[in-house]
Amino acid sequence: MTNNHRDSIISSKRGARDAALALAPAYDALAHSSFTTATATEIVGRIGAGEWTAVQVLEAYIARAAHAQSTTNCLTEVLFEDARRQAAELDNEFAKTNKLRGVLHGVPMSFKDQFDIAGYDTTIGFTTWSDKPSTENATLVNQCYAAGAIIIAKTNVPQTMLAFECSNPLWGRTLNPWNGKYTCGGSSGGEAALLAMDGSALGVGSDIGGSLRIPAAYCGIYSFKPSADRVSSHGARGCRPGFEGFRPSYGPMARSVEDCDLLCRAIFGELDRSHRVVPVPYRPVELPQKLKFGYYSNDMLVRTSPANVRAIQETVDALKNAGHECVEFSTTLPSDAMEVFVGLVTSDGYKKMLSYLQGDPQEDSLFMTTLGAKLPDFVRNLMCWGIKTFYGDSIFPRFFNQARTKSVVEYCEIVNQRNKVADAWYKEVWGEHQFDGIIAPVQALPVIPHGACTYLSGLACATAVFNVIDSPVATIPVTRVDPSLDCLSADFKPGEGDVSALFEKYMYQNGESTAYKPQEMAGMPVGVQLVGKKWEDEKVLAMMRVVVEALGPRGFGPGSWDMRGKSVV
């Protein structure tokens, strides 16, 4: 593809998006905020009670989505006109029957731009995938339509969806709504930015290494990563077809715990044409009055920032005050899992994934991720030796050495190691301690500035462990960065202890390029992961409520973006 051809496609796609956005009314807080500050659960209730119509709700969210786009560049495909027709149909149906179509009746929804919606492109940021509209809906899309949802837009992703920033040559960069100097995360980054600004009532993303959880934490919303194959993957595109080292999960991104639960009730257990979905519908659970939580603050790759440690401690303190048991423990399994993750995901040297670029320039966020696989073995080995010798860092070389093309025999050995890590987790963590759930950092940093993923992609260690062992995981916003509480100690030195000196230098002491700057990050959200056992998805959803109730009001949820900078009562 020539540069001129690529530029022509980009101009055409962005122009079509802008034309569709022009059909949105201007956002009017007086007229629209009562709708956009309602949860999806509340919207269904109000429509069912005859207080609101689907058309009223939709127009408010269309206006707000356009506002979110102008602030963050979060949208790709815009479905406003189709959505208006659907809303009118729902209102006519309700007027005749006085019955809701389903549990999502009238809820304006958005989908990460990897899910097929008939009549619209699914590009995942590749220019050459433009102008090839899908002919049918993804199963998840059909499930939401059947439950009464109204899909208003698709949202931006990073190139290849293997980064926790959110930029690609086709659609550009998406900004964090709380501070445009920082990324919204990835790969479900556009979805998180849109929801944080109340531009959608409920969203759908995916997760193969943290792609639901990292952007949710960066943007201060909720997410839920189900066990793999609990939700249909049919019609969800990717750039690694046939890869089975670990399977992606698909789940809700929302502004409340109740809305995460609501979507799971609509999508759990329905078989699709792949016949891979576990045919188990949503199963309500009754929790014991007193739960036992384990928690840890460090993943053995780097030391977690003071802000993220504080989020863990505030969560633990709140749970203890609510009468639950919390036990701190340490484990090396996150770093063991990251070694497996890197070994598996680089098994073909990224040949298939990078083949889709076809003339698109590679984004900087993929630099460190793909570097090892591109190097000759002797160069990679020399780099590992140099980092270990001159930085005293034995952690980074351990991962970097796995970033290479594998033989079939090597691949099978790493799959076997994956299974051993999962077995060890169940034995050492669940078996020995008998935890109901685990509280863990989403990442070592609250958020990263644009471009930091270039060198800090290894921070996905904190989330990737739960893809390797396939646990259901919720993300819960807890607090915000406070420079008066979250600065490093004066005697902090990168690499002290059994951690990666190289990563910690980029994180904490790299001059103007230092990633962790509490003064500049002031007010940015900080979240935690809530982890459960495989297949105990409903239990994790129920424990989300327990954690949120224990924490109490803290300035997150619908309407929180408009309240930024104001005191929270």
Give the residue numbers annotated as catalytic, written as ranges: 112, 187, 211
Q: How many CB atoms lie within 10 A of CB 40?
A: 28
Task: Please name the residues in contact with 121: beta carbons below 8 A apart, sequence gap of 6 or more.
Answer: 13, 77, 129, 130, 131, 132, 133, 134
Contact 561, 273 (CB under 8 A): no
The residue assigned the tokens 């939700």 is: 231
**DSSP H or E segment with residue 111:** strand 108-112
d(CA 148, CA 139) in angstroms, rounded, equals 14
Task: Please name the residues in contact with 113: beta carbons below 8 A apart, sequence gap of 6 or more.
Answer: 76, 77, 122, 123, 124, 125, 154, 155, 156, 157, 190
Q: Residues comprising the binding site?
A: 161, 187, 208-211
**Of 151, 154, 150, 111, the residue nearest 130 (C-alpha):** 154
d(CA 197, CA 377) in angstroms, rounded, equals 46
Q: Residues comprising the binding site for substrate?
A: 161, 187, 208-211
Q: How many CB atoms lie within 10 A of CB 12?
A: 12
**Which neighbouring-strand residues pair with 475?**
223, 529
User: Hey, what long-range contacts does 42-46 have (CB within 8 A, 24 or more apart)?
Assistant: 43/106, 43/107, 43/201, 44/100, 44/103, 44/104, 44/105, 44/106, 44/107, 44/148, 44/262
The residue assigned the tokens 């707000």 is: 64
Do β-strands 108-112 and 150-155 pair in parallel, antiparallel, or remain unpaired? parallel
Contact 411, 347 (CB under 8 A): yes
Length of the chain: 569
